[in-house]
Structure 1
Amino acid sequence: MTTFRRLVVCVMAVGLSAACSSGGARLAAAQKPAKPLSVEQLAAKVGCTPRIQVNATDMRQAYCKTVDGEFFLTTFSTQAGKDAWMDTAPEYNPHLVGYLWTALSSRQVLELLKERLGGDLHLKDHRTMKTIN
């Protein structure tokens, strides 16, 4: 990576100064956790006991209900699997999207979950990846 391109990447990634000083490869690693969270770990972060709906090798999905509301948590074994699922996800509901996971509910519930789970809120059209940070 040229010095100019590295500078552009670093400017775009304000707050990831350690990654910038070590080169572009570390930048990508800094953006995702070392290991993806499981449905159970995500559920524990928001205080629910997950009711598993789908328990497949490539995807797991659970229903949760908390004082914040009702929602579905879905985890994926690969980014390609998550991308394929997002392409076919119902466009009438927003999704909270993290590293190899999504949460599906109303925008109001997802905004509350975002405080504890992080992620990006994707609204309606998943193909254009409209997000609210």
Structure 2
Amino acid sequence: VIDLFEEARGMELDERLRTERRGHWLASDLMRAATSDGHASLGWAEAGRIQPGALADFVTVGLDSVRMAGWDSESLLETVVFAANAPDVTDVVVGGRRVVDGGRHTSVADVPAALHDSIRAVVS
């Protein structure tokens, strides 16, 4: 499973198991770790944030799924970090180029089949 939200949540949840207490990181800390800090760890300091000169890599998250129910402007980041999943991502922009638009990949017609074929090629 490739899911930035699951990875961020996993950091908190694993620490909860280890220490038997909640609240190790704020949602903003986990989002930063998954975005700008993650890019920096890969040597891409110009990515992972929205500002002039940075790479335009970002996603939009739909707010209409059951996972996002109850959000408001004060809790939106917490709702996204602790409840959203990859299926909630509606649009993806990489280097300023839209690769997912309204939940549909713009250059791969059948993503599940392409992924299946790629995995089979590696493991066969």
Q: TM-score normalised to the size of structure 1?
A: 0.27
Structure number with greater CO (CA < 8 Å, separation at least 6) is 2
Q: Which protein is richer in helix relative to its size?
A: 2
Q: Which protein is richer in strand relative to its size?
A: 1
